[in-house]
Amino acid sequence: MEEQVQQIKAWLGTGSINIFGMPMSGKDTVGVRLAEALGGKFLSSGIIVRAVEASTKQNVTTEGKLMPSNLFYDWVLPYFEKPELWDYPLILSSIGRWAGEEDQVMSVAKASGHPIRAAVMLELSEADVMGRWEAAKMLGDRGLRADDAKPEIFQTRIREYREKTIPVLKHYQELGLLLPVKASASRDQVFQNVVKALADFAKRA
């Protein structure tokens, strides 16, 4: 796999890879590991938004809905300009989830020297998503996230993905940037699947 990682690094440069998927699909898990393997930096819109909510005592996403685009632009996009990220590739976790935001994300990413070179879609059925949610709730390994607390809120998150994020993925597909990857296997296997998909894409590119 090391050879595949080196292929990805050579192709990616200081570009970005945006990872999407339904809740519980493993976006952050894969993203953090990929950033470490590539010597890059990891940015998660969810982590950024929850931190801003906590510091400003605002509740924007606690009911499971995506944040309004104007707040997304104000809170998340400035991170691309941070000097400590300039010389590194970026692994993004769902940056730009609402249809229409992807064009602005790609524009800001390119202007900051981190053009989006691929969008990975972690594929997981809704039945598997709910199974993982039940298991995580039982194990208590997701922290105290308000948007995971109740089944109706979690269902809202799934519906938001279906209605608002799927069109984003279709746009990336139209641009030839979308890489679907099965996410129903173990964490190690999913990571290996992502690396292989990206290495194959890098060869074609």
pLDDT at 93 exceeding the cut of 90:
yes
Least reliable range by pLDDT among 34-48, 54-68, 97-111, 136-150: 136-150
| pLDDT, position 144 | 45
Question: ∠50-111-203 over CA atoms, to 5°?
Answer: 95
Angle between helices 2-12 and 187-204 (to 10 degrees): 50
- Average pLDDT rounded to a whole number, residues 110-134: 93
Rounded Cα–Cα distance for residues 114 and 80 (Å)? 8
pLDDT at 90 over 80: yes
Q: pLDDT at residue 115 above 60?
A: yes
Residues 157-175, mean pLDDT to the nearest whole number: 96
Q: How confident is the model over 155-177, as a mean pLDDT?
A: 95
DSSP states of the chain as a string?
-HHHHHHHHHHHTT-EEEEEESTTS-HHHHHHHHHHHHT-EEEEHHHHHHHHHHHHT--SSTTSPPPPHHHHHHHTGGGGG-GGGTTS-EEEESS--STTHHHHHHHHHHHTT--EEEEEEEE--HHHHHHHHHHHHHHTTTTT-GGGSSHHHHHHHHHHIIIIIHHHHHHHHHTT-EEEEE-SS-HHHHHHHHHHHHHHHHHH-
CATH number at residue 186: 3.40.50.300
Q: What is the pTM (predicted TM-score) of this model?
A: 0.91
Distance of CA 101 to the CA centre of its chain: 14
Q: Give the number of domains in the chain.
A: 1
Residue type, position 136, single letter: A
Q: Can you give the pLDDT at residue 46?
A: 83
**Could you tell me if 63 and 171 are in contact, meaning their C-beta atoms sit under 8 angstroms apart?**
no
Please determine, for residue 131, whether its predicted confidence score (pLDDT) is greater than 90: no
CA distance 33 to 47: 16
- Which residues have C-beta within 8 Å of that of residue 152, sequence separation ≥ 6? 64
Q: Is the pLDDT of residue 133 over 90?
A: no
Q: What is the pLDDT of residues 11-66, one digit of tens each?
A: 999 999 999 999 999 999 999 999 999 999 999 988 888 888 888 887 777 688 88
More confident residue, 142 or 90: 90
Whether residue 145 is predicted with pLDDT greater than 60 in this model: the reply is no
139 band by pLDDT with thresholds 50, 70 and 90: low
Domain span at residue 119 reads 2-204
pLDDT of 48: 87
What is the mean pLDDT of the segment spanning 139-158? 70
State the chain's maximal CA–CA distance in angstroms. 47
